[in-house]
Amino acid sequence: MTSSITKQAIDAMAARAHRTGDAQLELVDDREPGLRVRAGKRTVTWSLLVRLRNGKRSRVTLGTWPLMSIAEARDAARLHRQQVMEGVDPNEVKQAEVETAKRELECRLTVKDALDKYEAIKLAQLRHGPERRRSLDGKRGIISDLVDRELASLTRAELTSRIRELAVTSPTAGNRKLAHLKAFLNWCVNEDFIETNVIDKVKKPGREVPRTRCHSLDELKEIWAAAGRLGYPFGPMIRLLIVIPMRREEIASLPIDELKIDWDEESGEGKWTIPGERVKNGRALNVPLSPLATRIIRTVIDDPARPKESRFLFTTTGTTSVSGFRKAKDRLDRYIHDARQKAATKAGTMATEMPHWRVHDLRTSFATQAAEILHIDISVVDRMLNHVATATTSKVARIYNMSELFEQRREASNAWADLLEREVIECKKKGTG
């Protein structure tokens, strides 16, 4: 029934709805036909009930109490009722206004604005989130010079051109950055920042060829010696990567509390337990540490250049794990080049450059030398690399490959360390060189 809507009546109805938790309580105005105010447990809303020209009844939301006063609600009711008399559906008008506002927001949103939201909401949850952000707008990011552009202005042609240009010299980098860019734009679509992902159908620009670069023992000897000139943190980190065939990121971010070493036993073995969240395949792994590995770790912990209170083995800030690998690798290559030039001058010959290599190739070098020289079973080598069997592998092989094989890996790790001390590290008596 209709009644005179007053502030006291609305407040009393709202208090009752909040107190009792009733689904809806409603007052109908006796002055403006169809105007009503409805109270729920948390909000009080003005609405207008109208009959459209097609005979259908429609409810138009006007606003909320007390932001919209009684007088303002009556004025809004008269305005919308006039629209209905003219054949206009007020709800359609509101929807059009919402769509217009949405398009205006899309036009104003910059690439940087969207990237900041993407990082805060999505990338913050990912282990390699910072790396993905850098690949987009970092120093060498694929859209680093477009961050001030409006997000909706990005075109398929310009983005595809950038990806293909990168893929000419680095197919793998082109493919990775395409994947990161697609993921970002798909997220923007899901968040209604843009209507479509303009590169959603773009295919990988480069054909990736698995790296087969394998260092000889003589090359490992050169890298080991050059690493000694780098100093903390990159020098011992490179040496540890030669001794332990784990991924660069896993060793670079190694917290000391993951290590189980008898610190009172100078030449003993140890164990490193990597939790699943820090491993590429998501599976925790116990890594056996040879006496050579533990000696390197002890030296690092006692290094005066290392911040003593840091939880990380390798760090420059004390609070975060080490970064800046590219510059360190460039220095390492320069030291190798200088050593080759010096040796060539002394021998009266022309120096040759070490063929291009990446830090990741140290894993391939271990796998090759361990199998060919030490005759370590390939399944043990695979577990030392912490690979996961593929879907094409038999079920029995997958189960076997998931087993720890810890003792076999411990023996293989010690055999590899012995080989390095005999053939790679100059003067075994001086420990790690």
Asked if residue 335 belongs to a domain, the reply is yes
226/357 same-domain check = yes
- What φ, ψ does residue 193 adopt, rounded to 5°? -80, -30
For the stretch 137-185, pLDDT in tens is: 998 899 999 999 999 899 999 999 999 998 888 888 889 999 999 999 9
Residue 364 belongs to domain with CATH number: 1.10.443.10
Asked if residue 211 belongs to a domain, the reply is no
Q: How many residues does the chain have?
A: 433
Q: How far is CA 364 from CA 26, 213, 245, in A?
A: 74, 7, 8
Asked if residue 16 belongs to a domain, the reply is yes
Asked if residue 58 belongs to a domain, the reply is yes
Q: What range defines the domain where residue 161 resides?
A: 109-190
Answer yes or no: are the C-beta atoms of 154 and 111 closer than 8 Å. Answer: yes
Pick the range with the lowest mean pLDDT from 339-348, 364-373, 403-412: 403-412
Which helix H or strand E contains 426, and what residues bound it?
A: none
Question: Which residue type, as a one-letter code, is found at position 130?
Answer: P
- Separation CA 77–CA 82 (nearest Å): 9
Percentages of the chain per state (helix, strand, coil), in multiples of 5:
55, 10, 35
Assign 150 to helix, strand or coil: strand
What is the count of structural domains for the chain?
A: 3
Asked if residue 96 belongs to a domain, the reply is no
pTM of the model: 0.59
Q: Is the pLDDT of residue 100 over 70?
A: no
154/260 same-domain check = no
12/46 same-domain check = yes
Q: What is the dihedral of CA 347, 348, 353, 359, to 10 degrees?
A: 20
pLDDT confidence of residue 156 = 93
Answer yes or no: are the C-beta atoms of 222 and 339 closer than 8 Å. Answer: yes
Listing from the earlier edge strand, what are the strands of the sheet with 57-65? 2-3, 25-29, 35-39, 44-51, 57-65
Asked if residue 198 belongs to a domain, the reply is no
- Separation CA 189–CA 126 (nearest Å): 19
Asked if residue 28 belongs to a domain, the reply is yes
Residue 36 belongs to domain with CATH number: 3.30.160.390
257/337 same-domain check = yes
Peptide bond into 233 cis (omega under 30): yes
For the stretch 250-291, pLDDT in tens is: 999 999 999 999 877 766 899 999 887 776 666 778 999 999
Asked if residue 71 belongs to a domain, the reply is yes
Crossing angle for the helix pair 234-243 and 217-230, nearest 10 degrees?
150
